[in-house]
Structure 1
Amino acid sequence: MTLLKPNPNLADQVYDALVDEICGGTLPAGSHLVQEQIAERLGVSRQPVQQAMARLKADGVVEEIGRRGLWVAPLDPDLMQHHYDIRAVLDGLAARLTADRVRAEAGAGEIFRHRADAILSAGTQAVETDDTAEQVRQDRALHELVYEMSGNPLLARTAEPHWRFLQRAMGEVLRQATLPKEIWRQHAEIADAIAAGDPDTAERLMAEHDLGAARTLHSALVASRQAEQTPEARA
């Protein structure tokens, strides 16, 4: 990994680097996180690593197990579903409001289309290079664009804690549950509906996108847990 350059947001850089590794599968569930090793690997002091770890614990991504230290927490299927249920409502509303704005405000459609196309292109490129962390970043960028252009500044703020938890889930969706190309096909359909100023379709597609990902990942996680509990797996 490239060494990070010191700046006032060094803890944020460490946090982002660790999230990328967890989302990308480099640090899977059960990975032991030794702060001294992480600091040495990233070329930073222990302080920003400690700050990043505190944020990861608050997000439910990292857990402390007694005196054994910090570990990447397993992804709880039910908690993940609860987060997705809330996000589907927020995202659907954001898509509806943005499509309404496109229909009512001259030039809004062209602005949304231009910015969305750039994100879709970057996301598709990340699929081609099998870069899961970049796919997650671009996925979030598209949703943040919809929040921004919805005209409701509370949407992004309300969705933020769910996004911090679900970045990890999104990585799991892309790696084991749903073909990445299908995810970006759905993104393109949502963008098309918004750009066309069709609020009903935009809201429906956005909610289906979120809830479909949740159902697929929930099934995959439950199946994985059941497989681990079989006598053959324990042997």
Structure 2
Amino acid sequence: MSMPLVQIPAAPDLVDQVYRALLDAISSGSLAPGERLTQEDIARRLNVSRQPVLQALRLLKKDGFVHDAPGRGVWVAPLDVEWTRKVYQVRGALDMLAARLAAAQCFRIDPKLIERGRRAARGRSVEAMLDADMAFHQAIYAASGNALIGQSADHHWRHLRRAMGAVLQSATQRESLWDEHQSIADAIASGDADGAARLSNDHGAEASANLGRRLAERLNSPALSTSTNALSGDIR
């Protein structure tokens, strides 16, 4: 006779919540490059125990967002222009493949995604801009019919989200990016696989160049934010 199993109430993974909270804070600059982090301080500020914090920090270190600090704790990894360029190269190849496959199916991207992006570009919320941009590209990944593309791109997007978050507040051509997105969407919908791939490649190359230039300017600016006030709240 098999042993009966008691149902376990569904609950979000606490380690993943802590990881996401820390990654969001690092991406937004609330946890600045070079800032030291300790398990005790993070646990207190997020109102959680030290164990999920320890596991989340291990994942962040594996992913390259934090490094071991002298003594105890870790520190937030610096932004690296050259590393960001290399990440864009890989993501660009994935985006081209996804656009080509989606165009083969004449996939029509939801116009609301474009509208959402334009609204975000006119606003002041960097998080909203990043979320809209990711949602557009993820729609193309899903439309490609190859789940490996989205899975592979996810890791690279985490690093690009951080670099993009560092410069978007001062960017002046936010909405023109959505003109490029619209052109890509139109090419995909019309079944123009070569055109969709070319536009996607041009979009990624230009974004990489602009981001690298602005990121270099920001890293050389004495006004680089060191605020740490945004990491707070009760995670459940």
Q: Tell me the TM-score normalized by structure 1.
A: 0.79
Matched, 1:214 2:218: no
Greater alpha carbon shift after TM alignment, 76-85 vs 52-61: 52-61
Partner of 2:6: none
Residue from 156, 159, 162 that aligns with 1:165: 159
- How is 1:56-75 mapped onto 2 (pairs within 5 angstroms)? 56-75=60-79
Partner of 1:156: 150
Greater alpha carbon shift after TM alignment, 37-46 vs 177-186: 177-186
Matched, 1:182 2:186: no
Residue from 135, 140, 143 that aligns with 1:146: 140
Q: C-alpha offsets along residues 186-220 of structure 1, whole Å, 9 cap, x if unaligned?
A: 22222222222222221112112212121122223
Q: Does the CA-based 8 Å contact 2:39-2:73 persist in structure 1?
A: no
Greater alpha carbon shift after TM alignment, 159-168 vs 205-214: 159-168
- How is 1:66-145 mapped onto 2 (pairs within 5 angstroms)? 66-102=70-106, 109=107, 112-114=108-110, 117-145=111-139
Q: 1:225 to 1:133 in 2, by over 3 A?
A: closer
Residue from 40, 45, 55 that aligns with 1:41: 45
Higher-helix-fraction structure: 1
Q: In the aligned structure 2, how far is the partner of 1:121 from the partner of 1:15? A: 30
Q: Does the CA-based 8 Å contact 1:14-1:52 persist in structure 2?
A: yes
Q: 1:123 to 1:226 in 2, by over 3 A?
A: closer
Q: In the aligned structure 2, how far is the partner of 1:186 from the partner of 1:210? A: 10
Is there any run of 5+ residues in structure 1 with no aligned partner, and where?
1-5, 103-108, 229-235
**How many residues are aligned here?**
213
Is there any run of 5+ residues in structure 2 with no aligned partner, and where?
1-9, 223-236
Q: In the aligned structure 2, how far is the partner of 1:166 from the partner of 1:172? A: 10
Residue from 6, 9, 15 that aligns with 2:19: 15
Q: Does the CA-based 8 Å contact 1:124-1:181 persist in structure 2?
A: yes
Q: C-alpha offsets along residues 169-190 of structure 1, whole Å, 9 cap, x if unaligned?
A: 2223423456322333322222
- Report which of the two structures shows the higher radius of gyration computed on alpha carbons: 2
Q: 1:191 to 1:86 in 2, by over 3 A?
A: same
Q: In the aligned structure 1, how far is the partner of 2:72 from the partner of 2:52? A: 21
Q: In the aligned structure 1, how far is the partner of 2:50 from the partner of 2:91? A: 34
Q: What is the CA distance between 1:73 and its match in structure 2?
A: 1.1
Q: In the aligned structure 1, how far is the partner of 2:44 from the partner of 2:17? A: 14
Q: What is the CA distance between 1:64 and its match in structure 2?
A: 1.6
Q: In the aligned structure 2, how far is the partner of 1:154 from the partner of 1:65? A: 35
Q: Does the CA-based 8 Å contact 1:97-1:199 persist in structure 2?
A: yes
Q: Percent identity?
A: 43
Q: In the aligned structure 2, how far is the partner of 1:196 from the partner of 1:37? A: 53
Higher relative contact order (CA 8 A, sep 6+): 2
The root-mean-square deviation of aligned C-alpha atoms, in Å, is 2.3
Partner of 1:106: none
Q: Tell me the TM-score normalized by structure 2.
A: 0.79
